[in-house]
Homo-oligomer: A and B are copies of this chain.
Amino acid sequence: MTVRHTHVAGRCDRVAPVLARIGDKWAVLVVVLLADGPVRFNELKRRIGVISQRMLTFTLRALERDGLVVRTVHASVPPKVEYALTPLGQSLLEPISHLSQWAVDHADEIEASRAAFDGEDAREVAE
């Protein structure tokens, strides 16, 4: 029984939580939007466009909890809260961009494959 795992040494349960966060569509979006610098809550909401404030709050809390984002409250009226990437959060930008690059590079292949797959299905049914 050969156990030659190609995957990175280190238990899967270390990796899983991170993957889950990446999979969270809002989380990644927020991280990318914060790449250029701090952004305020409602500004963030506006840029994302469709997100509910509930989900944005949850997403930011999760990112803050994981140490990827810092929340800074400026004591003023009206209140001003800015969110920014921590160094850890910034370091995540790199692997994310690798992945994004892959996605962009192969988007056409994937789409074609899907079309082919769905096409076969339709033909089977038709016969």
A92–B97 contact, CB under 8 A?
no
With an 8 A cutoff between CB atoms, is A4 at the interface? yes
Residue of B nearest to A14 (CB): B107
Interface residues on A, range: 35 or more
B19–A35 contact, CB under 8 A?
no
B35–A114 contact, CB under 8 A?
no
Please provide the chain A residues from 6 to 28 with a CB less than 8 Å away from any CB of chain B in the complex: 6-10, 12, 14-20, 22-25, 28
A18–B102 contact, CB under 8 A?
yes
Neighbouring B residues of A32 by C-beta, 8 Å = 5-7
A-B CB contact pairs (8 Å), 12 listed? A7-B35, A8-B101, A10-B107, A18-B110, A19-B22, A19-B23, A19-B103, A65-B117, A66-B114, A88-B110, A88-B113, A95-B95
